[in-house]
Amino acid sequence: MKYIYPQEVITAIAAGDISALDGFRQMRDMDQRMDAAMRKPVSSKQKAEDSSKKMEEILRELDALIGLTEVKKLVREIYAFLEIQKRREKEHLITEPLVLHMIFKGNPGTGKTTVARILGKVFCEMGVLSRGHLLEVERADLVGEYIGHTAQKTREQLKKAYGGILFIDEAYSLARGGEKDFGKESIDVLVKAMEDHKNELILILAGYRDEMDGFLQANPGLHSRFPIHINFLDYTQEELLAISEQMCNKRQYRFTKEAKLALLRLLIRPSSENVEHFGNARTVRNIIERAIRRQAVRLMAKQVTTREDLVTLEAEDLLEVK
């Protein structure tokens, strides 16, 4: 790196102030040392250690999620599989093909999108995906209104997703409408992309369990293309309470004992015929957000508020939530 003496240093030297030159040289030497350190190559051992630490952080993020025991187990199986395949490749052993397209089945608010996002990070760190980002789309983003439009729209979304995960929510909606529906055209484009760009894309189809099962039965060729099926179970009442406390802690709020009891009454699962419309974690989030607004209205009636007032959610804040 070439250094040019600043005008103020030249002026100071001309005036007999040598200290200005010493100060400039010290700064120059420090910059050169930093520049050399940045250019120093990172050893393969250091890269491996950094990658291992990064994976530990990602898996801790997964473990921090409430519930999802079977999902966490399967994600760790996928991670272990990828790691062992890499080790086998180094030893010039036969490796299994990495077909990682997935089906996520479950009701809303059961963590499907959150887990997909974590998987993107895992696959990126493992070198399976170059970017590891998540692109979430639905039927309207893929299906056009006239002949040829659907293929164009679907390819545009695929292009955005390359290097990461394309997550299609309510994927069964692509098969509705019969043979003449443009959704079938979108499915054809997606299937072709899965073959042509198998090293650049992971496709996750998500939706209600029964609808996804019907969708796969109606499209026999799809089932074999998605070797990984993950069922996202509804949260128990205790898990929903834990999720609500976790959400509150992140927002620096807490419940009184009475508020917890009021919340539990709100979290009673609806009758079996309406269970699929129960929002799980989404329902919890909506309850908390509305309770926080109710608390704000309640506190506005006070001229003076304490820190305790500001962080506490009372039973009356939840009882107003309907």
- For the stretch 98-130, pLDDT in tens is 889 999 999 989 999 999 999 999 999 988 999
Per-residue pLDDT at 10: 59
What is the token pair recorded at 156? 């545009």
Residue 133 CA, distance from chain mean position: 8
Neighbours of 185 (CB within 10 A): 20
Alpha helical stretches, state H, 109-196 = 112-125, 139-142, 149-161, 183-196
3-state helix, strand, coil in the chain (%, to 5): 60, 10, 30
Query: Percentage of the chain surpassing pLDDT 70?
Result: 80
Neighbours of 31 (CB within 10 A): 12
pLDDT digits (tens, 9 = 90+) for 240-250: 999 999 999 99
Low-confidence ranges of the chain (pLDDT < 70): 1-34, 36-44, 177-180, 269-279, 320-322
User: Taking Cα atoms as reference points, which of 99, 116, 138, 105 lies closest to residue 225?
Assistant: 99
Per-residue pLDDT at 273: 46
Query: Pairing between strand 102-106 and 201-207?
Result: parallel
Give the CATH number of domain 46-232.
3.40.50.300
CATH class of 237-317: mainly alpha
Q: What is the pTM of this model?
A: 0.77
**Distances from the Cα of 7 to the Cαs of 1, 20, 27, 283, 305, in angstroms?**
19, 11, 16, 65, 57
Edge-first strand listing for the sheet containing 164-169: 134-137, 164-169, 201-207, 102-106, 228-232
Q: Do domains 46-232 and 237-317 have the same CATH topology?
A: no
Using an 8 Å Cβ cutoff, are 132 and 164 in contact? yes
Domain spans, the chain? 6-38, 46-232, 237-317
Q: Which residues pair with 135 in a beta bridge?
A: 166
pLDDT digits (tens, 9 = 90+) for 238-275: 999 999 999 999 999 999 999 999 999 888 765 554 55
Give the separation between CA 126 and CA 133, rounded to whole angstroms.
14
